[in-house]
Amino acid sequence: MDLNDEVRASHKRTFLKLFEQSELDTELKKEFESMINNNRRRVIMDLADFYNDREDSDLARRLHQNPSEYMQPLVDALTDMIRTHNPKYLKEGEQVLVGFTGPFVSRRVTPRELLSRFIGSMVCIEGIVTKCSLVRPKVVKSVHFCPTTEKFKAREYRDITSNVGLPTGSVYPTWDDNGNLLVTEFGLCTYKDHQTLSMQEVPENLVPGQLPRTVDIDSCKPGDRVAVVAVYKALPSKSQGSMNGVFSQQMRQITQKVLKDIKNISVRDDTFDLLANSLAPSIYGHLWIKKAVVLLMLGGIEKNLKNGTHLRGDINMMMVGDPSVAKSQLLRAIMNIAPLAISTTGRGSSGVGLTAAVTSDQETGERRIEAGAMVLADRGVVCIDEFDKMNDQDRVAIHEVMEQQTVTIAKAGIHASLNARCSVVAAANPIYGSYDRLLTPTNNIGLPDSLLSRFDLLFIVLDQMDPGVDRQISEHVLRMHRYRSQIDGGGSTLDDNSRYEEQNDKEEMPVYVKYNWMLHGRNSSRCKKDALTIQFLKTYIHYAKNRIHPELTDEASDNIATAYAELRRTGGGTLPITARTLETIIRLSTAHAKLKLRRQVLKSDVEAVLQVLHFAIYHQELTEMEEREQEREKELEKKRSADHDAFGSEAMETDDTPAAEVSISPVLQAFSAVLGRHRSSQHVEQISVAADVESVVNNGAPVPYSKVEIEKLLEMMQDKGQLWIHSDTNVVYFM
């Protein structure tokens, strides 16, 4: 606080009046003589003298609570007294230093008891010095000479440790106000010694099983047991040079309106699909993998039994597949959603970099433990890209973390166990570059079963050679690029889902993403709500993960046991079916119950997650859906005329269903082809639904379309992003 001269002078007069008392004046003169004889500049004051002041008994309390306001006037008063006592002892501009003894009452603390409420006040800390730096000079006043004007210019410097005024800049002036060159006169500059030391709690006062706390001080040498009286301040980091008082919080504030919206989402029948589709809307397809990611971020229930057994609740997942199937993009989506996520790569990470390392302190040479990525991501998610590029020795280091969720260190005389309770999401390419369908999944992956069994889910992501799917993906990617170019002109790279940027300044949190025809080509109307905002999705996952703790019911337990026995009987697949698979089903079922905000795990939760697990292990859900869709299409073909098949030569788009890629309907093919030829021949971009569409599609058709069929087919084309129907004007716009 920058005090004005009147307040500073008033406090100085208060201290001088106190020091004029006969007893205190005699003690100060003795202290001055001792200081001069020992060639010191520090005066030791007893706080009891301030408590005994009858006229101003509150002076000691104010000195404790607000030292930045009273310390400098106290120094000024003592400096004037010693100049009166011995005018030649202090040089011009020098001031005495002040130390304190006496009763500190509740402000005598240990480093562990040094809380935030003591910031800005005077405290007495007891401990042992463990590390000290060299004594270095710190400039407090610089003098500069101007050869042009032949004048001197002085500038004072203050940092956060100063008790007078606000901190100033640390850059030397090189030019004066008129643009004349300044030369620094280092011999005329004023410096003060500066030393930083670390102290920690004395060993005999430590709580058993806890590490000692440390705090930085500025005096003494290592090994000294000291009681430091100082002003507790928050210093900025050396790397940033500044301090930010705003910190990222994981505990989100949930209002009543947001809580109501969360409960409304949880009671929907399609909650699972809704959250999965909202996870990474820029990635086309991969619905089952997105569902698995949602369950992974929700997690199961961690349990520590009385006999010491630890049951992990975090879910581990791995993706193996061909290049360019959005594996890394899915990892980026997890980084964007998860409250705590750390990203790393297989080639750029070592075993100790993922777990923990024992290093030497540069100044003291002592051994210390440095946490790795998995320890830093405790209670979070670790994303490992290029998992197949890791060395076998480094890959073995994460075995303990993935199952026991601890990192055990026994090196260089250090024995410690660190918590690493995190979920692991890994992405890897097959050993031959692309997935060989003639080989088994284990031979394609090339990882040992001991590691694969630690992954709850393992997805084989293949690059399907399907013209219809390729067309859908290309149009989806092109829509993303066209939308991005409208935001930033195509000149900068946006983060995934950046179009759904959080609006922290708004009081109300938006629930659904605002409709945009460029982004939501699959949407049937503006009112269709099938994508949540990233901000609301984060809040929903945070609430469900931390507030809901479901318990297994008897019915769900029986269903889980039956499903596990069936998986063991079937065998095969991408993962070895072991007892860990049973725990996987429990964790996934618990996560799905959290998703629905239920306090109990029901049979429906088990059935829902078994579909995800079955797809991850056998990759068969896709073919089953295709067979059912083909049977339905055969029935539709019998009802239409054979002449419609002639219009199916042109490749059309296919819609992405939650579980499979549906084959193209001949009826929709013919209908879309007729509208496409009309658009090309007439060079139109819009057409009226009421009369024009009916006349165009029924012109020369062997079997005329009814109005109901036309409306249904137009809605299907709008779902695929081929056109858009204006709800007010009833006009079709081609896309």
- Can you give the CATH number for the domain in which 656 is found? 1.10.10
- Asked if 723 and 717 count as a contact pair (C-beta separation under 8 A), the reply is yes
Beta bridge partners of 167: none
Question: Tens digit of pLDDT for each residue in 258-314?
Answer: 888 888 888 888 888 888 888 877 787 788 888 999 999 898 888 888 887 878 888
Q: Are residues 276 and 365 in the same domain?
A: yes
- Write phi, then psi, for 429 (nearest 5 degrees): -100, 155
**CA 181 remoteness from chain centre:** 48
- 354 and 260: one domain? yes
One domain for residues 215 and 260: no
Q: Which of 584, 558, 575, 606 is nearest to 313 (CA)?
A: 584
| Residue 690 domain-assigned (yes or no) | yes
Cα–Cα distance for residue pair 64/124, rounded to 1 Å: 10
pTM of the predicted protein model: 0.54
Q: Is residue 452 part of a domain?
A: yes
Please indicate, yes or no, whether residues 661 and 703 belong to a single structural domain of this protein. yes
Answer with the one of 473, 495, 517 that is the final residue of a domain: 495
- 91 belongs to a structural domain: yes
Whether 533 and 540 have beta carbons less than 8 Å apart is answered as no
Q: Assess whether 217 and 276 both reside in one domain.
A: no
Please indicate, yes or no, if residue 49 is contained in any of the structural domains. yes
Least confident of 40-49, 179-188, 370-379, 638-647: 638-647
Same domain, 262 and 135: no
| Domain presence at residue 485 | yes
Q: What is the CATH number of the domain that holds 218?
A: 2.40.50
**222 shares its domain with 350:** no
- Domain count of the fold of the chain: 4
Query: CA 603, 604, 606: angle at the middle one, nearest 5?
Result: 65
Domain membership of residue 24 (yes or no) is yes
CATH number of the domain that residue 15 is part of: 3.30.1640.10
Instruction: Name 421's Cβ contacts closer than 8 Å, sequence gap at least 6.
Output: 302, 312, 314, 378, 379, 405
Of the two residues 697 and 606, the one the predictor is more confident about is 606
Together in a domain, 143 and 267: no
Give 527-572 as a 3 state SS string.
CCCCCECHHHHHHHHHHHHHHCCCEECHHHHHHHHHHHHHHHHHCC
Higher-scoring residue by pLDDT: 677, 320? 320
pLDDT winner (highest mean) among 68-82, 349-363, 553-567, 721-735: 553-567
Q: Are 164 and 170 in contact (CB under 8 A)?
A: no
- Indicate whether 177 and 303 sit together in one domain: no
Which of 472, 495, 518 finishes a domain? 495
Q: Are residues 728 and 642 in the same domain?
A: yes
- Give the span between the Cα atoms of 35 and 72, in whole angstroms: 20
Residues 325 and 387 in one domain: yes
Reference 586, options 336, 349, 359, 295; nearest CA is: 295
For 426-456, write each residue's pLDDT tens digit.
Answer: 888 888 777 787 777 778 877 887 888 888 8
Is 416 in the same domain as 472? yes
Domain boundary pick from 465, 495, 525: 495
The tokens for 684 are 């139109």
Q: What is the pLDDT of residues 588-633, one digit of tens each?
A: 999 999 999 989 999 888 988 888 888 888 776 534 444 444 444 4
453 in Cβ contact with 442 (< 8 Å): no
The whole domain housing 430 covers 256-281+288-495
